[in-house]
Chain A
Amino acid sequence: MRNLWIIASREFRLYFVSPIAYALATMLYLILGGIFFINIYFGLQTGQINPDGRMVIGPMVTILLFATPAITMRLLADEYRMGTMELLLTAPLRDWELVLGKWLGAYGFVAVVLAVTWVYPLILHRMTSPGIDQGTLVAAYLGLLLAVAAMLAIGLFVSALFRSPVAAFFVALGVMLGLWIVGGLSSGAGAGSQLAGYMSFVDHYYNNFYRGVLDLGDAVYFVSLTALALFLGAQVVQARRWR
């Protein structure tokens, strides 16, 4: 347990001294700020758009699809590239503790970044009367936290496969895009379509959480996806010891 905390806190702090984190946060807030402003200024004024706290969450999911591979790409690939993996793997530390700790650190960082985005709905709530639907907002954020957990776990797993962070970025992005578009195959009625529908990342988020519905099935989907990716990540680390 303590090892997890040591690894996670180092990883978490590292984000705040690395330029990637600031570049990423800047980009995210800039885009969200822009979208928010446009929505408020043009939408609300003309009454075309209803005041909805999720006006920043919708685009945020898409941005995070690209941002999470950038957050996770160096987590393990860099350790392999710099040779520091040798240090970690010869320390009294289990392989799964290393993987889980890294994931926790990254998750903590993203949670902080996401917490800041809460200001947009708050502003909106103050500006409008009777305000926005808080329940829907909470559900949407909850779903977002679960989805991000899975995205980071997938990115971390892919990062364990590579020595090059850039390769890890593109492959992780590819895997996530694959899970994203697989929902497009779910229109049919056969078992394949059903499976595609169940695997779809988007369906599990937008169909329920985003609409304010808390569904256990969706939560199970994201949690099991996270667990599977972390398990595979630890397996890869262990397997790479043999080379």
Chain B
Amino acid sequence: MIEVEGLTKFYGAFPAIQNLDFHARPGEIVGFLGPNGAGKTTTMRILTGYMPPTSGRARVAGFDVVDQSLDVRRRVGYLPETVPLYPEMTVFEYLAFMGALRRVPDLDDRIDEVLEQVAMLERSQSYIGNLSKGLRQRVGLAQALIHRPEVLILDEPTIGLDPAQIIEVRRIIQELGRERTVLLSTHILPEAQQICDRVLIINHGTIVAEDTPGNLQAQLAGAERLTVVAAATTPELTRMLEAIPGVTGIRAGARDGEVEVATAPGKDLRPLVARRVVEAGVDLLELRSAGISLEQIFLQLTREENDAQAGG
């Protein structure tokens, strides 16, 4: 659905993005994660046909973004970071305008449909200028959906919303992602973790990591850690845990009865660990995976990158 090869964009002498390579499949929600100024918006603007790249290629829904720009634009729904709205129009007029430009059949019915989808049906006659920030965001989303696009590109869709609205917008995106390709950018880590199937971490215009949120964590931690809290720690318990294949180390935890178990990446040893604890004749009080958060990965990755740049 989205294929990007060697995409590069210079603003004057400044490279906004350099040699980006990535893809997104149908039915996949891909998160574009990175600090401000990392090149997320630039990439999205190229993919939506707003601006051409300096070099490299990008295909969206099978069409080249430079040579077949109009075909791409017909198939993409785009919500820019600053939601582009006409304050002097009503919600209905605005969607009718956008829908007409996109040749949406049975436009009136379709407008009702998208307004229902973003829970704004009762505000269709309100002037956009009178809407709150959260409602405007939803109108922007409705605009991006009006023509049933195959690919949805959302630039910071939850920025500036209150917590309840954020949850609502994330729910809508997840729903949409079931049948479409969604590329969304964010600098909020839990958001990427929560709604994306795959995460691309971008920093200084290059992709520094790409994987599922789960794998990224595993890969970066190098190993996963389990925290076991038992009624008591006995030598027998330690011995039995060490004997489990895949366990790479054991150490006492911060509290009494707490044991930290390091395991090889990619394997969930929790059931086995639980059984062994019970077999050792100790009551198991708590067992949890203490995998590092995406936030730590993100900081680590972007820091490594910065250090490398500072050093080189």
Contact = CB atoms under 8 A, between A and B. Distances in A.
Decide if A and B are genuine partners: yes
A6 B85 contact: no
B39 to A, nearest CB: 15
B100 A84 contact: no
Interface in B61-119: 70, 73-74, 76, 78, 80, 82-86, 88, 97-98, 100-103
Given A83-B82, A243-B51, A91 B88 contact: no
Given A83-B80, A241-B50, A241-B52, A92 B102 contact: yes
Interface residues of B, number: 26
B312 to A, nearest CB: 29
Interface in A1-59: 2-3, 6, 10, 14, 17-18
Nearest to B69: A92
Given A14-B88, A83-B84, A92 B50 contact: no
Contacts of A211: none
A230 to B, nearest CB: 20
A126 B76 CA distance: 60
B101 A6 contact: yes
Name, among B74, B84, B85, B102, the residue most crowded by chain A CB atoms within 10 Å (CB to CB): B84
Contacts of A242: 51-52
Contact of A3 (B11, B45, B76, B101): B101
Nearest to B86: A84
A91 B197 CA distance: 28
Contacts of B100: 6
A86 B97 contact: no
23 contacts: A3-B101, A6-B97, A6-B101, A10-B97, A83-B80, A84-B85, A84-B86, A86-B78, A87-B84, A87-B143, A89-B49, A89-B50, A90-B48, A90-B73, A91-B101, A91-B102, A92-B73, A92-B102, A93-B101, A94-B70, A241-B50, A241-B51, A243-B51
